[in-house]
Amino acid sequence: MPSNFSLKSTPINDPRPSGFRPRRSPRLACHIPIRVFGKNQEGRTFYEDSSTLVIAREGGLIRLAQTPAPNLHIYIHCHPTNQGGRFRVVGEYSSSKSLHRYWGVELLKPGENLWGVEFPELSEEDGRAVRVVLACPNCRRRERTFMDEAQIEFLHERGGVIRECPTCKVSALWKEVPYFEEA
């Protein structure tokens, strides 16, 4: 963690109205190894090796065993890019059947490309769901689809989703593969 990073809670004075904000970039289902530094709700400093579930230019959904307080600032180091940045904890997102706890985070310096991913242009479908690329284990056909966060949690926790392939006509466990635009 950089020496100039402070783990103090900072009050947020957000001039935007509360509630729904339109998406600024597509959300991509993407498993990226990260290290998170912060303070939990008890005020104890922690660091935890974890991963992302969903990423966007401005933030993401990360898995954490720790319980950071909403609006707390944390530092996330992205292992593949060897870059880090300050984030605000937006809140917890976990379905009732979830095996893990997920936290929404917002990048405090928009414009940084911490994840090392080239994001596609925003489409109408991006406002409602997350882009996911799945691959058939038999013929390797890839399909880009849209899922909500609960479906992506299920996909990660179960290792895939059973579907019939339109190419090889076999029902099999399709797994998530790294996102790319030409799916």
**Which of 147, 166, 165 has the alpha carbon at shortest distance from 156?**
147
Q: Is the pTM of this model over 0.95?
A: no
Q: What is the pLDDT of residue 5?
A: 40
Residue 47's pLDDT is: 94
Which pLDDT tens digits describe the chain residue by residue (183 residues)?
Answer: 444 443 333 333 333 344 445 556 788 888 899 999 999 888 899 999 999 989 988 899 999 998 888 889 999 999 999 999 999 999 888 665 666 788 999 999 877 888 988 877 776 776 678 888 899 999 999 988 888 888 888 888 888 889 999 999 999 999 988 765 444
Give the residue extent of every domain in the chain: 28-107, 127-176
Q: What is the DSSP string of 94-155?
A: --TT-SS-EEEEEESSTT--TT---PPPP-GGGGT-EEEEEE-TTT--EEEEEE-HHHHHHH
Q: Which CATH architecture has domain 28-107?
A: Beta Barrel (2.40)
**76/36 Cα distance (integer angstroms):** 5
Report pLDDT for 62. Answer: 94
- Residue 71 CA to residue 90 CA, distance in Å, equals 6
